[in-house]
Amino acid sequence: MNIAVIGCGYVGLVTAAGLADFGHTVTGVDNDSAKINLLKQGLIPFYEKNLTPLVTRGIQNNRLSFTTKIDANIENAGAIFIAVGTPSLNDGAADISQVLKVARRLAPYLKKYTIIINKSTVPVGTAKQVANIIKANLAVDIAFDVVSNPEFLREGKSVADFFQPDRVVVGTNSPQAKRIIKKVYARLITEGIPFVWTNPESAELIKYAANAFLAAKITFINEIANLCEATSADIDTVSRGMGLDARIGKQFLAAGPGYGGSCFPKDTKALAHIARAYGEPVSIVEAVVKANERQKARMVRKIQNTTGNLKGKTLALLGLAFKSGIDDIRESPAITLINQLLAAGAKIKAHDPRAMKNAEKIWGKTIIYCRDPYEAAAGAEALVIVTDWNEYRNLDFKALKKIMKTPVVIDLRNIFTPQEVRRQGFHYESVGRGLKVLPGVPVKS
């Protein structure tokens, strides 16, 4: 069938390319002309594993095209996905102005029954708002339905998540819309992927609840890690002991500098705002938001406590993206770290396999961007691991010791065991490893 996807960011582009691979004819729409020009050439404006060949295949098979205009291109579409950004406002609410603007602009081009699918993460009740706006701006009196179909794509693994999702959530009260959604996702239904069919309000809330729960799990283990440091316990062992409980599971139990990215920070704030608006505050989520900020600040103090007065000192930071495998630095813990370390007078040398171009947009020439970890470490008084890239797991500590001013490693992702680093003559700090280890006794099991 003919499908339009409005918004060609992480979610929209993966959705468009994935649907084209399902055999649909898909038009991707975005108002960023530079982005569209790149996409027409099969070039991706951000890094996402396996996305480039997927887009290229869609273009070559004449099933995927791109345009900057919401116009007659979408008249033949039986389904229109809205996949634009919903960033945080100052009060934490989700800014759905782009979603509503798209609804207003597409309405006059609807000439036959069409379903409009909210793929963007939006507050409860947005489907109704979109429907009201479309109805008020129709050029002809035709039937349509607005469906909530939230995305659950992890950056760095979004292509795999699109083709092999844990579940697909669809919110609609319309039997006709349900039939069309089944055509859109026929391949996933055939493969036995679980579908959650519900009303739009429940679908909208599922997305926020899922992200808030995962953010809470990360924050919980970080606070337990802080307690481990105070009690001489070991967070690796505690996490393993918890994760082996099938009711808890081992995912999202890795201690670190706090969560970041395009979803968890804004979605936790938005859920808290929604709950307050309905008079049912989610105190746990509000606490998670505050605790995550405290964790980032704690990492700065950990660096300061390890290195002493930061003024004039050179620090090597490895990792700028909020997680490995991507070039996205939105809400990355590295932002808090770098800003506060610079404010304390430190000089920053940084490396990231993918994210340095995006970092330069924030800091310009204020920090030094290095070709590899060793260039960053040269002359540094501490090496700080901020993102757990695989490239950093096999660092040559003998080489590092020769080029660093002082042999100090501050591992905020616990990618090394304390003994292996200390054995090389380094002072080593990590997160949640308070256990006092005897010589020859391994820390990790």
Q: From CA 436, how far away is CA 231, in angstroms rounded?
A: 10
Q: In degrees to the nearest 10, what's the CA dihedral of 262, 264, 267, 270?
A: -110
Residue-level length of the chain: 445
Q: Cα-flanking dihedrals φ and ψ of residue 177, to 5°?
A: -65, -40
Does 263 participate in catalysis according to the annotation? yes
SS3 for the chain is CEEEEECCCHHHHHHHHHHHHCCCEEEEECCCHHHHHHHHCCCCCCCCCCHHHHHHHHHHCCCEEEECCCCHHHCCCCEEEECCCCCECCCCCECCHHHHHHHHHHHHHCCCCEEEEECCCCCCCHHHHHHHHHHHHCCCCCCEEEEECCCCCCCCCHHHHHHCCCCEEEECCCHHHHHHHHHHCHHHHHCCCCEEEECHHHHHHHHHHHHHHHHHHHHHHHHHHHHHHHHCCEHHHHHHHHHCCCCCCCCCCCCCCCCCCCCHHHHHHHHHHHHHHCCCCCHHHHHHHHHHHHHHHHHHHHHHHHHCCCCCCEEEEECCCCCCCCCCCCCCHHHHHHHHHHHCCCEEEEECCCCHHHHHHHHCCCCEECCCHHHHHCCCCEEEECCCCHHHCCCCHHHHHHHCCCCEEEECCCCCCHHHHHCCCCEEECCCECCCCCCCCCCCC
Q: Determine the distance from the C-alpha atom of residue 243 to the mean position of all C-alpha atoms in its chain, rounded to a whole number.
A: 23
Report whether 289 contacts 271 (CB < 8 A).
Answer: no
CB-side neighbour CA atoms (13 Å) of 194: 4
CA–CA distance from 308 to each of 84, 102, 107, 346, 366 (Å)? 45, 52, 60, 11, 22
Active-site annotation holder among 8, 228, 263, 370 = 263
Positions annotated as catalytic residues are 263
